[in-house]
Amino acid sequence: MKGSALVEIGSGVGGINNFLPRQELGGKYIADCRNFDIDNSGALRSRKGYRRVYAGDCHSLFCHHGISYFREADTLKSLIKTGNVFITATLRTGIPAGRRQMWYAPVNDCIYYSDGVVTGVIQDGKSRAWGIIPPPLPVVRSAPVGSLKQGTYQAAITYQRNDGYESGAMGVVRFEASGGFYVDYEASANPVSINIYISTRGADTLYLAHSTSNVSGSYLYDGTGAALSVPLNTLFEQPPAAGQLVEYFYGYMLVASGNCLFYSEPYRYESFKYESNFMVFDGRITLLCAVKDGLFVGTDTDIYFLQGTNPPGVGEAQMMRLNAAGYGAVYGTQFRGKPYADVVYFLSRRGLCRVLTGGQLENLTDGVVYFDAGDSGTGYYREQGGIEQYLVSMTKPHEEEWDAYEQRIDMALTLPSIYTLDNVAHVSLPRLKVEEGWFGILE
């Protein structure tokens, strides 16, 4: 090819270095490398190819326990390989239009997901609601019968799923009564049972008085029947807000919505208290990843380490906010290293970083490789042939954040080296939008 020249490369290539002038690379570094892998010894290998496995306008690919999940138009789908055949199934339809990146967090047998507009849970191969919307406040009417003494009483309603999960109560109704009273309740649009809670005279604690099927009706409480013994524990609890990031950490489900980080009730991953269970940051949250002893939270301008395993004001080892870096993280690029390892890779505004336990943040490319960080992107970690690689695709800088996937910068980083890939504009990495109507698996 006209203008090309052969360049002799030593056996121990240290990766790309575009900070030094070419004449000073000395065979140790190279200024560019396309369609090659650089292994741990510095040797070059031809990059393996890819093949088409599904045709569609897809994005937000996520893989867990051999099953892939992805978005196509307004639909959430699964993809599983059976023999040599890839089979898809539709999990959810009617998702509002837009190429918002879906984020997933697997916990036990569930995968919790959100794209900033909708939320849901994948369980047993189906998508269901993440939490139950609390019922409206009950209507209380006096009854001409009963043995209750004159005084102040309270009533509340909750819904309960067949698996035992109970919704929050929207609030309580406080009223004066004697003899007895009726509690009118409304049915839910979902298959649930209805719980009616009542307080004793002048008391603040409500107890379960009656459970019934999911049909609107009235319940008469006249002071007789079984003793009130099971307290209401879900007052003011709500399903999660939709968020751009979700994460699990020591019995808490975390949802980043705008610049707020909401956390669930402990071990109740579908129950949130908006009035108390949240932390606020200076900018939109673009990074949320857990390590053994804390959380890393990034915005467009800063990265913090929340040291501790409990939210502020909860028990021991409460989180303390520490500054980890004075620059921001690129949304969507985080990916955990070896499965379940305490190392997470992501792109920052100053290069490829990784975070570890103890609040450690390492910039692996600072002073070696320079590239313009995009507004958002997707990252992927893999091991292939003994080589650890972090692959990333980014929107170009200054594009609209959610919808600017038309022009991207695609790179693969052999940790800690870096190189670019040719002709991968149509390849979808996990959580990556597809260009030419199909996505492929890198092999």
**Residue 137 DSSP code:** P
The pLDDT value recorded for residue 416 is 41
Tell me how far apart the alpha carbons of residues 191 and 429 are, in angstroms, rounded to a whole number.
Answer: 38
In a domain, 393, yes or no: no
Which domain, by its residues, includes 194?
139-221
Tell me how far apart the alpha carbons of residues 174 and 110 are, in angstroms, rounded to a whole number.
Answer: 38
Tell me how far apart the alpha carbons of residues 64 and 110 are, in angstroms, rounded to a whole number.
Answer: 11
pLDDT tens by residue, the chain, 443 residues: 444 444 444 455 566 666 666 656 666 666 677 777 777 677 777 777 778 889 888 899 999 998 999 999 999 999 999 988 999 999 999 999 888 999 999 999 999 999 999 999 999 999 999 999 999 999 999 998 999 999 999 999 999 999 999 999 999 999 999 999 999 999 998 878 999 999 999 999 999 999 999 999 999 999 887 789 999 999 999 999 999 999 999 999 999 999 999 999 999 999 999 999 999 999 999 999 999 999 999 999 999 999 999 887 777 778 888 999 999 999 999 998 876 678 999 999 888 899 999 999 999 888 777 777 778 888 888 887 777 888 888 876 644 343 333 334 444 444 443 333 333 333 333 333 333 333 444 43
Residue 324 near residue 354 (C-beta atoms within 8 A): no
In a domain, 172, yes or no: yes
Tell me how far apart the alpha carbons of residues 228 and 209 are, in angstroms, rounded to a whole number.
Answer: 6
In a domain, 410, yes or no: no
The pLDDT value recorded for residue 442 is 42
> Tokens 């290998």 belong to which residue?
45
Residue 346 near residue 376 (C-beta atoms within 8 A): no
In a domain, 20, yes or no: no
> Tokens 């303390």 belong to which residue?
320
3-state secondary structure (DSSP) of residue 262: strand
In a domain, 204, yes or no: yes
Run of H or E residues at 115: none
In a domain, 259, yes or no: no
Model confidence, pTM: 0.83
Residue 271's nearest CA partner among 301, 303, 241 is 241
Q: How many independent structural domains does the chain possess?
A: 1
What are the distances in angstroms from CA 242 to CA 181, 228, 301? 39, 36, 23
In a domain, 163, yes or no: yes
In a domain, 213, yes or no: yes
Tell me how far apart the alpha carbons of residues 121 and 104 are, in angstroms, rounded to a whole number.
Answer: 9
Tell me how far apart the alpha carbons of residues 343 and 324 are, in angstroms, rounded to a whole number.
Answer: 15
Residue 58 near residue 439 (C-beta atoms within 8 A): yes
